[in-house]
Structure 1
Amino acid sequence: MKRFASSPHRSRPPRGPARAWALFVATLLAVAGTQFALAPAYAVSHISVSSTTVAAGETLTIDFNGTADTPRAGAGENFYAGSSSLGSLDALTTIESCGGNTAPCVELAGYGPRVPLGDLAGGEAFSGSITLRVDPETPAGTFVLRYQLYANGGEATANGPTITITNTPAEADLGVHLNAQPRVGILAPYLSYTLRTHNNGPETATAVTVTATLPAGRTITGLSPGCTAAPGTVTCTYADLADGADAVATFRVPIGILDFGPTHVTAVRTASSPNDPNPANDRDDATCTTLSIALASCA
C-alpha cells in the first residue's frame, strides 16, 4: 500500500468578516500602544531642605527640581505649610532670595511662596531654590512642608519633610576684664591698662560698646585703634565679636608729679546685640595707688 508523506499543518488567515474584525482589533491595539508609549511621565517635583530644624529669625533654603508632564503656561513651584497650628507659610516666613525663577518670587496670601518658572514644554526639566526667613516672633512648633508644580491645574500637592521651628532667644554673653600695671621711673611714668572683652557665646555679638570711666582730670595716652577718649572716659566699639573671641584694647594714664593717691578705673559693657544673658560679668575695675612718681601699685 502506497503511503504519502503528510504535509505539515498550516494555519490559514481568517476570511471574510472574521478577517476584517481581526484587522480592526490589531489596528486599535497598535494605536493605543502608540499613545501610551508617547505619553510623557506625569509631572513630579522633588525637594530638599537645608535643615529640618530652624530657629525663629533664621533662614530655611528649599531646593527643588522636576519634569513637566505636559506643556504648562505660567508654571510655578508653590510651597505650603500643612498639618500645623502655626498658620499658613506666608504668615510665618518672608522671602529672602530665590533662584531658577523667570519673574520675582511672590507670596500667595493665605498660602505661601511661589517661584515662577515661566512656560514649560512637555517633558521639560525645571529646578530652582528659595530661601525663607522665619519671623522672629514665630512660636516653637512644627509644620509639614508641602509643595506643588502649579499651572493648568498642576500636580497634586505632595508632603515633604516636617520642619521644626525653635524659638530660643539668640544670646551672646560678654565678659569684661580690666587689668592695670604701673610703669614707674624718673622718665614718663604711667599706669598701663588692658581692657579685654570676651564673648562667651553662643551667638556672635555685634555693635559692642565697652566704656571705661576714669577719675576726673586724668588724661589718656597710647589709645588702641577703635577706641576714643573724652574727658573722664575711654570708649571702645567692635562691629562683630564671634563666639569665643576676644577684643583687646590698651591705654595709659600718665603719672604726674602731684598725682598721689588712688586711681580707680571702671570698665562696663554699655551696648551689644543680641541680648546679654549674664550682666554679672559685664563690668570690672582696677585701682592703682601712687605713692610717688617712682612708686605705685595696682590691684
Structure 2
Amino acid sequence: MKRPASPSIPYRRPRGAARVRTLCLAFLLAVAGVQFMVSPAHAVSAVSVSSTTVAAGETFTIDFTGTADTPRTGAGENFYAGSTDLGSLDAFTSIESCTGNTAPCTEVAEFGPRVPLGDLAGGESFAGSITLRVDPETPAGTFVLRYQLYANGGEATADGPTITVTNTPAEADLDVGLSAQPRVGILVPHLSYTLRTRDNGPDDASGVTVTATLPGGKTATGLSAGCTSAPGTVTCTYGSIAEGGEAVSTFRLPIGLLDIGPVVVTATRTASAPGDPNAANDTAGAACTVLSIALANCA
C-alpha cells in the first residue's frame, strides 16, 4: 500500500532577504573600489537677481549661468512667476534688455520671457542676463522666480528667489516760499515779490498752480511768464516741476500815496498732481510795512 504523497509547500524567502543580499553586494563592490553615484536630473542652470525687492515701474536684472548636460538644439533660458496672485510673469513685466542671447529675447504668452541660447553641445557652458521692468500699475505682492533651460524637452523647472513687488502711490511734496523787497522812491515805487515752488519729491509734479492773495483788491504788475493777475490775486501755473527742481516767478505790487501801513501777501499751492503728502509747507507769506512812497521795509 502506497503512502499518499506529501502536499508540496511553496518556498517563501524570509522577509528582508532581498534587501540584505543587495546591501551585501553593494558592500562587496565598495570594498573592491567600485563606487555608485546617482546622476543629477537636468541640474544645468542657476540664477541670481539684482534685488529681491522691486518697486512697480522699476527694473530688476536676472543673471543666469549653466552647463548643458546633453546636446540641446534651439536652447533657451525660460523664466516664470510661481506662487503668486500677480499672474504670469509676462502679464506684469516687460523686457528691458538681455545679454548672452543668440536671437532677440521674447515673451512667451501666458508664461514669461525667454533668452534664446542657440544650439548647445553636451558639457557646453552658457551665461547671460535679462532685465525686466515691472509695470507701474502692478499691485504689491510677491512671486517665486522660476527658471528652466528649454530644449529637447527641457530641464525640470526650478525655484529661484522670492521677489517682492512694492507699489507706493506717487507723491510730490511741493514747498511754497514767498519773499518781498521794497523798491521805493519817487519813480514808480513798488514792492517786489519772488515766489518759489520747490518739488521735494519723491516724484515729479505736474499741473502745478500757486495762487497769491493780494491786499485790498490790488492788481500786480511785472509778472513772470505763466503768471496772471486779477484784482486781489496773482495766479502762477507751471506745466511740471521735476523732483528736486524749483520754479521761480516774480511780480510787483505798486505803492500809492494812500498805501500806508502793513501789506501782507500770502501764496498757496492750489493744484498739483500727484497728491501732495505735506500740506504744512503749501502756504507761505511775506509781510511788509509801508511808511511812505519813499520808505518801506519787509520782514
TM-score by length of 2: 0.70
Secondary structure at the aligned position of 1:196 is classed as: strand
Give me the whole-angstrom Cα distance separating, in 1, the residues matched to 2:137 and 2:203.
Answer: 20
Letter of the structure 2 residue corresponding to residue 219 of structure 1: T
Give me the whole-angstrom Cα distance separating, in 2, the residues matched to 1:214 and 1:295.
Answer: 23
1:207/1:271 contact within 8 Å kept: no
Give me the whole-angstrom Cα distance separating, in 1, the residues matched to 2:144 and 2:117.
Answer: 23
TM-score by length of 1: 0.70
Equivalent position of 2:246 in the other structure: 247
Secondary structure at the aligned position of 1:241 is classed as: coil
1:255/1:293 contact within 8 Å kept: no
Offset, 1:289: 5.2
Offset, 1:254: 5.8
The gaps in structure 2 that reach 5 residues or longer are: 1-38
Equivalent position of 2:141 in the other structure: 141
Residue correspondence of structure 1 range 202-281 to structure 2 within 5 A: 203-207=202-206, 209-213=208-212, 217-220=219-222, 223=224, 228-231=226-229, 232-236=234-238, 238-242=240-244, 247=246, 249=248, 251-253=250-252, 255=254, 257=256, 260=259, 265-269=265-269, 272-281=272-281
Letter of the structure 2 residue corresponding to residue 218 of structure 1: A
Offset, 1:149: 1.1
Letter of the structure 1 residue corresponding to residue 111 of structure 2: Y
Equivalent position of 1:55 in the other structure: 55
Give me the whole-angstrom Cα distance separating, in 1, the residues matched to 2:137 and 2:124.
Answer: 40
The gaps in structure 1 that reach 5 residues or longer are: 1-38
Offset, 1:49: 0.9
Equivalent position of 2:116 in the other structure: 116
1:260/1:289 contact within 8 Å kept: no
Letter of the structure 1 residue corresponding to residue 178 of structure 2: L
Secondary structure at the aligned position of 2:91 is classed as: helix
1:49 to 1:251, Cα distance in 2 relative to 1, 3 A: same
Give me the whole-angstrom Cα distance separating, in 2, the residues matched to 1:151 and 1:130.
Answer: 19
Stretch moving more, 176-185 or 262-271: 262-271
2:42/2:156 contact within 8 Å kept: no
1:42/1:69 contact within 8 Å kept: yes
Offset, 1:284: 2.7
Give me the whole-angstrom Cα distance separating, in 2, the residues matched to 1:267 and 1:121.
Answer: 71
1:131 to 1:150, Cα distance in 2 relative to 1, 3 A: same
1:170 to 1:235, Cα distance in 2 relative to 1, 3 A: closer
Offset, 1:146: 0.8
1:273 to 1:114, Cα distance in 2 relative to 1, 3 A: farther
Offset, 1:78: 0.7
1:161 to 1:241, Cα distance in 2 relative to 1, 3 A: same
Give the paired residue count: 254
Superposed CA offset, 1:107-147 (max 9, x none):
22222111222233333332222222223333332221111
1:273 to 1:233, Cα distance in 2 relative to 1, 3 A: closer
Offset, 1:67: 2.3
| 1:95 maps onto 2:95 in alignment | yes
Equivalent position of 2:293 in the other structure: 293
1:184 to 1:281, Cα distance in 2 relative to 1, 3 A: same
Give me the whole-angstrom Cα distance separating, in 2, the residues matched to 1:112 and 1:181.
Answer: 62
Give me the whole-angstrom Cα distance separating, in 1, the residues matched to 2:44 and 2:236.
Answer: 63
1:84 to 1:233, Cα distance in 2 relative to 1, 3 A: closer
Superposed CA offset, 1:233-272 (max 9, x none):
4445554223xxx626252416355573676644343555
Measured on the aligned residues, the alpha-carbon RMSD in Å equals 3.4
Give me the whole-angstrom Cα distance separating, in 2, the residues matched to 1:103 and 1:274.
Answer: 40
Give me the whole-angstrom Cα distance separating, in 2, the residues matched to 1:182 and 1:78.
Answer: 69
Secondary structure at the aligned position of 1:90 is classed as: helix
Give me the whole-angstrom Cα distance separating, in 1, the residues matched to 2:270 and 2:106.
Answer: 41
Offset, 1:150: 0.6
1:237 to 1:286, Cα distance in 2 relative to 1, 3 A: farther
